[in-house]
Amino acid sequence: MTDTAALSEEAGADQGPVVPAPRRPALSPSRAGDFKQCPLLYRFRAVDRLPEQPSTAQVRGIVVHAVLEELFGLPSAERVPARAHALLAPVWARLRAEREELASLFPAGADAEDAWLATAARLIDGYFTLEDPRRLDPEARELLVETELSSGVLLRGYVDRIDVAPTGEIRVVDYKTGTAPREIGEAKALFQMKFYALVLWRLRGVVPRQLRLMYLADRQSLTYTPDEAELTRFERTLDAVWQAILRAGRTGDFRPNRSRLCDWCAHQALCPAFGGTPPEYPGWPEPDAGEETPLDRAD
């Protein structure tokens, strides 16, 4: 036990349990994307922290991500489709037990739930058409990465998978359980991947050789090769996004930005662009700590 740990334990014995300090606010790819899409959406999620009922598609994404994470925890020879399918029901049962709100996801009964699990199984089959996991040895799965830029902005996010070649080249892999996107969706996905690439570059001093998005629904891959100049420009973009968030936070001026993406927003009833009234602004400077939820990474 270190001296610091010993002192903390001793203090806890005398004064009751030690309350951990709140995590420093950070920018995640999901929250940065929210602000770029619609500042009011950022406020609803990161400041007001309004609850959102997950959709069956989102929860399916969580389940498939968890199955693939567990698959790579098995010996390489066992990473076959049948073994992945065998993981599906136990993973879903565990997630449903951990999150009470998921118990009511299928009011129509077991037949609807079984049909939904079958769609998850097809996504797993889609994964196996894109690569053979028996030939891979990922360095990390579901890795929390965090770094502070020279401007002081703290970046934080979870990477689905990191592969490192014997020569040291890094590949960042992200699973997508939807179909390959059109222009808007592709830009959003690459924004997320560039975020991870920037964090890893600042942490390791090496620009990832490849960013790979695997779209399991239509069994397509999108690969991208970033470079230092591009990531330097992207760093300036994130700095600008964070400064804009801070300005909005001080004034409470989080304006809605109406777009086609509003059709999927859970907060239309509170949005002025749709005749709604947001809740009273709770104030600043305590934004969300930048923690991405499984729903953020389930698309």
Q: Per residue in 141-159, pLDDT tens?
A: 999 999 999 888 899 999 9
The answer to whether the beta carbons of residues 245 and 153 sit under 8 Å apart is no
Strands 154-164 and 170-176: antiparallel
Q: Per residue in 53-103, pLDDT tens?
A: 888 999 999 999 999 999 999 999 999 999 999 999 999 999 988 887 787
pTM comes to 0.83
Pick from 79, 182, 89: nearest CA to 131: 79
DSSP state of 225: -
Largest distance between two CA atoms of the chain: 59
Question: Residue 155: phi, psi to the nearest 5?
Answer: -105, 140
Among the residues of 45-135, which ranges form H helices?
Answer: 56-71, 81-98, 110-130
pLDDT for the residue 293: 57
DSSP state of 53: P
Predicted confidence band at 272 (pLDDT cuts at 50, 70, 90)? very high
pLDDT for the residue 26: 85
Pick from 117, 81, 83: nearest CA to 102: 117
Above 90 in pLDDT, residue 184?
A: no
Residue 176 forms beta bridges with which residues? 215
* Portion of the chain with pLDDT greater than 90, in percent: 69
Above 60 in pLDDT, residue 183?
A: no
Above 90 in pLDDT, residue 104?
A: no
Residue 147 forms beta bridges with which residues? 155
Give just the sign of the alpha carbon dihedral 271, 185, 124, 157.
Answer: negative
The residue type of 295 is: L
Q: Per residue in 1-16, pLDDT tens?
A: 333 333 233 333 344 4
Pick from 158, 154, 156, 159: nearest CA to 242: 154
The answer to whether the beta carbons of residues 44 and 104 sit under 8 Å apart is no
DSSP state of 267: T
Pick from 42, 49, 51: nearest CA to 253: 42
Structure tokens at 265: 């927003």
Above 80 in pLDDT, residue 187?
A: no
135, with CB counted inside 10 A (0-12, 13-18, 19+), is: exposed
pLDDT for the residue 199: 96
pLDDT for the residue 1: 37
The answer to whether the beta carbons of residues 112 and 132 sit under 8 Å apart is no
pLDDT for the residue 189: 81
Among the residues of 131-182, which ranges form H helices?
Answer: none
pLDDT for the residue 9: 30
What integer best gives the mean pLDDT of the chain? 86
Report, as an integer, the average pLDDT of 112-118: 93
Structure tokens at 201: 């570059």
